[in-house]
Structure 1
């Protein structure tokens, strides 16, 4: 309603950040909010990437995928965004309400089929109609729309690296990572083990830093978001490897739908949990990272931070056991 009657003399400023996809919701014609919510919940549990989820969201929305920007025509639009997505793609941040979208309705349908998402008839009919297509590159209605990125996840990693150097630790930035949380954790564990045992690819004391947005395929009935899942898998993989400490958290202060930002693990976490009767592998099978770290009093609780530059992971390695021949 606010942008329905603008002139070429008007200026519109959009401020976008993480969470925009979920909070800026207006279902397309013929689709109910309940339909969108059920599909979104199913996608969150399926292991779909943020790009795949936002492709579907855009094509079920009346404002995402450039549609809100198109509605502002002929006004001049300025969008300033904080990225919370791997690659900082303007089309993915908050599902790109003011920028052109190259993805298609056919791709959205293919994603739903790939993850075996139950699709209501109204949604399927909409996605098969020409009206479901988003605003495409070159559309004249976006000719006066401008986009500028003002903060991105890489900056948080670089800032952390500066702090590491100041504290006497060599940083290793792995960048934005995607994939299953538990599998990404195994890769991090492998790098940490290589540093501890062989001093490669860098010598301790050091810190492995990474960001991005991993996914969780929900198989169990436990609690916890993708960062708790990552850290639980890391704990299970390291099994108390000496001198290795780690934290993982979401920079918005909320890991998944829980009340924690993330958690920490230490060399004695694995043994302490076992003494309490908790098996890291069993809890991982049940997607119960929250419960595991809650029992260890190792949850990180910040409350909402009011910003979001995606996930943040740091693995601190104090020393290497490598000895020169």
Structure 2
């Protein structure tokens, strides 16, 4: 098989492992008391697919509402699916969040609330805290996305700006029983970080949120600062029951199994790798060179697998998400060495705001770029990895995958 075929097969195996289909079996709660309702609420890029999988497993009536990204809808029977903007929230997302919060508040003591939360919920489930407008949230969110702040810090700020995240959806659902199903897209799989934890109660952290904004040079008006400080949450909200349907580790393990089928030794470097995309790429290139030259930490033929979420501090005006930027930096650092190829993709199918999941390269990339007049170093400097890989026919385009366990990276090393 070609390097491209192997790399794409590894990515596909990771995607299949991350889907919610068939994963509710043995994880369902008892039905609500007679006369009680099953209310399904959710948000995230995978939430529509999660809803369909839940309906297939749940042998009782249910109703509900969830919000997903435009183009990420999936068929459901009785659960309504609304689409909205991501990563910068819009009016459709705010209207959906208002309806979801209203439905949660309608739950009574005999009702069962099922929460389906996946990555992307932070932006999709947008409901400004009292004293804030949607525009306030949009402006802060845009600044955060360009700042290079890691997802954990961004979500601290998002909770502080929200009337529904950080456990506030669980507070609205009380006294109903709440069971939360999660697909993790965050390093460490912390339930309170996934989608900014709408059903995971925690104490408000206004000063922490303001400190993060200051650290990245993001100035906010006085009314935004006041609203953040006033946005408290009740202290008596019960902790929900949590079920984790898919995680980055599950996806990497599936890719490792597929690698063995190809006669490759897999080495999982980690499922929670963070940092500036081009800096992570330099570190990965060093490991790849050591592997190729010395057989350390593993001997070829092998594949180095990793996940997590890198960040990009946007300085140029080009096109490209964090996976394309990582891969371009990796290709330049490896320098066209024979026997090294790689793929880097976002498992939701959308790398940043572009139409690709990511990209791939093989040893011929640099020579081909020179032959076609594509300046890879200039592309990296201007955050224009998408344009470079598109010109060289190296994009990976899947469309929305209806799951999201963050980034997938595989570096393939063959004997030469």
TM-score range, shorter chain: over 0.9
Say if 2:191 is the partner of 1:73: no
Cα distance in 2 for partners of 1:220, 1:201 equals: 36
Of 306, 312, 316, 1:210 maps to 306
- CA distance in structure 1 between the aligned counterparts of 2:233 and 2:264, rounded to whole angstroms: 47
**How many residues were matched structurally?**
314
Q: Is the 8 A contact 2:121 2:195 kept in 1?
A: yes
CA displacement 1:102-123 (0-9 Å, x = unmatched):
5611000000000011313321
Residues of 2 paired with 1:120 and 1:270: CA distance? 47
Deviations 1:242-297 (A, max 9, x none): 11010000000000000000000110111211222222222111001101101101
Pairing partner for 1:114 from 202, 215, 221: 215
| Gap regions ≥5 residues in structure 2 | 1-101
Encode CA deviations 1:30-51: one digit per residue, 9 max, x unaligned.
Answer: 1111111111111111110000
Residue aligning to 1:43: 144
Alpha-carbon contact 2:265-2:301 (below 8 Å) kept? yes
Moved over 3 A (4+): none
Unaligned 5+ runs, structure 1:
321-325
3-state secondary structure, aligned to 2:105: coil
TM-score, normalised to structure 2, is 0.74
Whether contact under 8 Å (2:357, 2:398) holds in the other structure is yes
Q: For 1:57-68, what aligned pairs fall within 5 Å after superposition? A: 57-68=158-169
Q: 1:323 — aligned with what?
A: none
For 2:104, the equivalent position in structure 1 comes to 3
**Secondary structure, in 3 states, of the residue corresponding to 1:119?**
coil
- Give the match for residue 52 of structure 1: 153
Aligned residue in 1 for 2:198: 97
1:132 paired with 2:244, answer no
Q: Tell me how large the CA RMSD over aligned residues is.
A: 1.2
Q: Which residue of 2 aligns with 1:230?
A: 326
- Indicate the SS of the match to 2:275: coil
Tell me the residue number matched to 2:61.
Answer: none
**1:149 shift after superposition:** 1.2
Tell me if the contact between 1:58 and 1:134 (Cα under 8 Å) persists in the aligned partners: no
Matched, 1:169 2:268: no
1:140 Cα deviation from its structure 2 partner: 2.2
> Which of 126, 148, 161 does residue 25 from structure 1 map onto?
126
Answer whether contact 1:157 1:210 (CA < 8 A) is retained: yes
Does the CA contact (< 8 Å) of 1:244 and 1:266 recur in 2? yes
2: CA distance, partners of 1:183 / 1:228? 13
Distance 1:12 1:311 in 2: 30
Distance in 2 (alpha carbons) for counterparts of 1:76 and 1:58 = 23
> Partners in 2 of 1:26 and 1:126 — Cα distance?
13
What is the aligned partner in structure 2 of residue 281 from structure 1?
A: 377
How far 1:11 sits from its partner (Å)?
A: 1.0
Counterpart residue number, 2:414: 318
